[in-house]
Amino acid sequence: MKRHITCLSRIVMQNHHAKTIPNTRFLSTQEATERRNHLFTLEKKRQQENVGRIEKIEVNYKGVPKDFTLVMNKDISTPYDCAKHMSEWHVESSALALLDGNVYWDMHRPLTENCTLQLQNFTVAEPQQVNKAFWKTCSLVLGACASIAFKENVTVKLHSFPGPDIRSGSFIYDIDLPTLPDWTPTHQELYTITAEFVKFARQGHLIERLEVGEELALEMFKENEHKSKQIPNIARTNGKVTLYRVGKHVDISKGPLISHTAQIGRVSITSIHRLTGSSDSDIKQLYRFQGVALPAGVILDHFAFSILTERAKKLNLARSPINKFVERQDSNKENVAARA
């Protein structure tokens, strides 16, 4: 009799499920992150095993404390490994590597040939590229935090972030939250996301880089329809997609990015604006997460930082991925308003 009841309940359950859940299985945000992380690990291992016979390359280091030559492994050693031969200071402060004086290279990207190496931190004489890498990294980490910060029942679909524009005053991530159609974040919620960001950054995750084929990238971002639409576009030139992994979070970015997240110092997520799509675009609305951050070790007075945060609260007018024209009209209107 007992067995009957269980059978009955199972049948009922199955029927019930059949009605509510369609055939394809949905992954929660966390499960998707785990899956992507796993695939990234496997692919990285495969690529490392593919190197085969280890060849040596000569890396001429230029800079403090003195110039010298290192003999490193081709396609295995990274500038980060070179920095490990020097000092802890080099390992912690270097954000980007400069190869042969003109190519900016990620700290965790294997070197492929003989080259001269310079390490760049945030206080070099010409830090434009380092700043750009920093701004991109902040956007990427913002995406990672947003996917951590929400509860299980809120679906977070990352869309993209535009190229770094530091003069605009804020870094951006455009995120689709389909279960929250009408959300205006409170001060407390912004504060929580900021705390999440700080917590994540303090863990000091290395920012790993991997180039994968289009197919694998599509497989990784299967449940995110925005990313899987972007991937063929990105892979059009050489069939490769550049992925970055921060902690467990994997995201697409052209790079280069900085070395590790502990290099992000003071940070504030200042505002979340709603972007509405034009009638012909298939995405109706996105949330634009905005924030401002400074590298670790930069000491800025609280008043000066409050100026930056106040400015970062305004909607960043960087190109919207879903609606190109409304934004421009808005800015025109503002200009007209400013003129009048």
Which spans of this chain sit near other proteins (rule: CB under 8 A)? 64, 122-123, 125-128, 131, 134, 166-169, 292, 294-295, 298, 300, 304, 307-308, 311, 338-340
Q: Which is nearer to other proteins, 194 or 230 (CB)?
A: 194
**Looking at beta carbons only, is 63 or 204 nearer to other proteins?**
63
- Compare residues 57 and 308 and give the one whose CB is closer to other proteins: 308
Closest CB to other proteins among residues 4, 167:
167
Q: Report the greatest alpha carbon distance in the chain.
A: 84
Tallying the residues shown for the chain, one arrives at 340
Q: In this complex, which beta carbon is closest to other proteins, that of residue 12 or of residue 298?
A: 298
Cβ 206 to other proteins, closest distance in Å? 21
Neighbours of 274 (CB within 10 A): 14
The structure tokens listed for 330 are 């808005």
Least distance between other proteins and beta carbon 335 (Å): 9
Q: Indicate the burial class of 325 (C-beta count within 10 angstroms; 0-12, 13-18, 19 or more).
A: exposed
Q: Which is nearer to other proteins, 54 or 166 (CB)?
A: 166
CB of 47 to other proteins, least distance (A): 33
Phi first, then psi, for residue 23 (nearest 5°) are -60, -40
Strands (DSSP E) along 171-304, which ranges?
A: 171-176, 207-213, 240-246, 249-252, 264-276, 285-295
Instruction: Name every residue whose Cβ is closer than 8 Å to that of residue 224 and which is 6 or more positions away in sequence.
Output: 32, 157, 158
- Backbone angles phi and psi of 333, in degrees to 5: -60, -45
The minimum distance between CB 307 and other proteins, in angstroms, equals 5
6 by DSSP, 3-state: which?
helix
Q: How far is the CB of 110 from other proteins (least distance, A)?
A: 28
Name the nearest CA neighbour of 209 among 171, 177, 241, 162.
241
Q: What are phi and psi of 266, to 5 degrees?
A: -70, 135
Q: Provide the minimum distance between the beta carbon of 205 and other proteins in the complex, in angstroms, as a whole number.
A: 21
